[in-house]
Amino acid sequence: MRTIEHFRLLGQSLSQSTLAGWIKHEDSIRRTVVQNGNVAKHARKARDTAFESRLNELVSLTLNKGVVLSGDTIKLLATNAYNDLEVPIDKRFKLSNGWLENYKKRNNLRNISFHGEAGSSNPETIANERTRLIALLTGWKPCDIYNMDETALFYA
């Protein structure tokens, strides 16, 4: 049970039956690894490595800016990667939902849904407002700046 909890903490799902199967067939699995190396049975590989590399760079840059990636955003970044590499339109993959799902699997990207206030926020607006707030609060001591969500705590 500790092994399953370990994988859950890493964000991976592992069922009791899968773990039991691995333990039951441990010798066979070890022999296969020794013979073939540690190679996945169905390794997912990109067909166009230059495109995939450029797309991964664009995705990383976008994530580092704090932008939440949606499927449409990834498809837009893919179009930008094709344009950067000057790939003719007739040589491009169709950026279908199937392609998107496979790309996300290959790169371990997950769907995260934001609800409530976080789901209705525009990331660009948030970035602009943060910059504006920093400018407004310059010169104030941190102890004199209040989080308005917590002001009710002072009046309870």
- pLDDT per position as a tens digit, 52-107: 899 999 998 988 887 878 889 999 999 999 999 999 999 888 899 999 998 888 88
Q: Is residue 127 assigned to a domain? A: no
Give yes or no: residues 59 and 30 share one domain: no
Return the CATH number at 70: 1.10.10
Q: Is residue 98 assigned to a domain? A: yes
Give yes or no: residues 26 and 53 share one domain: no
Task: Show the domain range for 55.
Answer: 49-107
Q: Is residue 123 assigned to a domain? A: no
Cβ-proximal residues to 16 (8 Å cutoff; 6+ apart), any chain? 1, 4
Picking from 82, 107, 132, the residue at the C-terminal end of a domain is 107
Q: Is residue 87 assigned to a domain? A: yes
Let me know: does 51 contact 77? Beta carbons within 8 Å: no
